[in-house]
Amino acid sequence: MESFRVCFTILLIKSAAQLLAANTIDNQGINSCFSYTPNRGWVNDPNGLVYAAGIYHLFYQHNPYSNEDTNISWGHATSPDLVNWTDKGVAILFNKTAQIQRFSGSAVVNSTNAGCPAAGRRIVAIFTDADNKTGTQAQSIAYSDDGITFKLYAGNPVIPSPPSQYASEYRNFRDPKVFWYEPKKTWLMVVVLSDIRKVLFYWSPNLLQWTYKGEFSSE
């Protein structure tokens, strides 16, 4: 085991040295070759990393206009190898007119559900819409055919509010993490009520209709 650890460490060092020798860094030339920074603006939570058609897609919280945490949108970058990244700008822009920001979430590649308008190897983003006017937080989706241009689902939000027993927690209902749960052939969402420290579980056959299934909490 010890010899394996030594060999593995040597391989990592050798790989890093080769990348550096090849001058494999991002287009800003100032960051580590193993990190990504957008060309401008504020950056925060990563919102998902997916692989589709030979390309990795990274999404993250982003203000494309300044270095402040306002105008929250989804930034986007792509990479063929997880080392060299190309800034793709904004994937999902905040709604300036309605004052709705696009908070954290996740992304999936939907290749399983023909009944969903976001099916057929499309990338689907699942995120919290945060309404600045009402304070409401709700879960919405957007989808992309080419992995670059995203379209908001016309029926958003797909989960407009928490379960009835937690109706008063609509201001802190956020950060959906979604994945395909093969044993039940369903999508599973983990989403939080942050003020009362509860994690909620939802199931969906198609990423559109979601059923509340239970919760987890701990002091």
Active site residues: 45
How is residue 212 written in tokens? 């509340």
Contact of 122 with 145, CB cutoff 8 Å = yes
Cα 102 from Cα 63, distance rounded (Å): 10
Contact of 92 with 75, CB cutoff 8 Å = no
Cα 203 from Cα 188, distance rounded (Å): 5
Kindly report the CA angle at 57 between 63 and 89, in degrees rounded to 5? Answer: 30
Q: In terms of DSSP bridges, do strands 173-181 and 151-152 run parallel, antiparallel, or are they unpaired? A: unpaired
How is residue 91 written in tokens? 């994937």
How is residue 95 written in tokens? 């709604």
- Other Cβ atoms less than 10 A from the Cβ of 149: the count is 10
Q: What is the DSSP string of 66-116?
A: -SSS-S-EEEEEEESSSSS-EEEEEEE--BTTTTEEEEEEEEEEE-S-TTS
